[in-house]
Amino acid sequence: MPIYHHLGKFPQKRHTQFRQPDGSLYHEQLFGTIGFDGMSSLLYHLRRPTQVKDIVSSVDVTPKIAEGKHVKSRKMVGFNVAPADDLLEARKILLVNDSVAIGVAAPRQSLTDYFYKNADADEMIFVHRGTGTLRTLVGNIPFEYGDYLIIPRGMIYQIEFDGADNRLFFAESKDPIYTPKRYRNHFGQLLEHSPFCERDLKLPQDLETHDATGEFRMKIKKQGVLHELIYASHPFDVVGWDGYNFPYGFSIHNFEPITGRVHQPPPVHQTFETKSFVICSFVPRLYDYHPQSIPAPYNHSNIDSDEVLYYVDGDFMSRTGIGPGYISLHPGGIPHGPHPGTYEGSIGHTGTEELAVMIDTFAPLKITEAGMGIDDGKYYQSWLS
């Protein structure tokens, strides 16, 4: 996210001596991606962030593919994924390609027994149910229903939930997740026509600095393998940092919809982007106001992308048989559109209360065994009248 932020204390000049009260040096770390060309932050640790005591285990967590090539539209019941205590065990990847893994999770317990780092991917976590705090080595972010949490790859974090009833929708992206370029000027500032602005972002606060040594468990996901390491010092020992590379939150309720006299295409709902897919937010909004408008979307061909819709709440006006936590997949190669009766039935309505998250990928998605296990098997026939 191209916005400058800082917490704690750090020297006025980069890469210069910065000493602790006892005269020893703080340990500077450049936290960045895309080599030395992408966004980065400079962190200052009490101890070297490189002290690995042991590598305990390595487990392949690559999802098993059930169907790699297909043209069938599908409806998955996300809430049928059983809850699990551990956050990583609760995560179930349903759809995947070489750039992104999409899934749901129902964790019952906080991730506090160990620290986690995804070295493979940026993460987007959408909070459908639950409240709590995302704790990271660069500060904490409280979250609640409707929040997107954007966590850059390599970020060490824990998640504390306030209760046991938690439902998450997530995407792990091999490409960096940004706000859309068309919403920003060449300095990176969000423009006046953007459906949200920097004021809406939840930035890290309450920097934790732990001065402790011993044995600290860290789980690192790299190349689809989950490695468990033992670190010699507490990962959250940063006394200060500044820069542009850090996690942040954004509430879907702060997305301001773009409307028009006639039906607007899906890009007006875009919230985030990568070079491989986009994420869109469907929120309560007024319908089109041309006297002859048809509020329901027109049929459109999915040739260049697979469309995934995660239904959050409300009445999604172009779909029947949909409820909270459902996930529809409309694959490339076959057109899709409103269900029978919803096109005509939308005429005369003035607004919608729907709430949903959409991911459009530019490469086909494969269906995992976990995804096939919650598919209803007959959604592709739901357009028959």
Give the domain ranges of the chain: 28-72+79-252, 256-381
- Domain 256-381, architecture per CATH: Sandwich (2.60)
Phi first, then psi, for residue 202 (nearest 5°) are -100, 105
- Quote the mean pLDDT of the chain: 95
Burial code of 123-158, b = ≥16 C-beta within 10 A, e = fewer?
bbbbbbbbebbbbbbbbbbebebbbbbbbbbbbbbb
Predicted confidence at residue 150, as pLDDT, reads 98
Confidence of residue 36 (pLDDT cuts 50, 70, 90): confident
From CA 55, how far away is CA 70, in angstroms rounded?
A: 40
Q: How far apart are CA 19 and CA 93, in angstroms?
A: 45
Q: Per-residue pLDDT for 297 more than 90?
A: no
Q: 343 pLDDT band (50/70/90 cuts)?
A: confident
pLDDT at 1: 60
| Mean pLDDT, range 371-375, rounded to an integer | 97
328 pLDDT more than 80 = yes
Over range 46-69, report the average pLDDT.
97
Domains 28-72+79-252 and 256-381 share a fold: yes
CATH architecture of 28-72+79-252: Sandwich (2.60)
Q: Would you state the pLDDT for residue 298?
A: 87
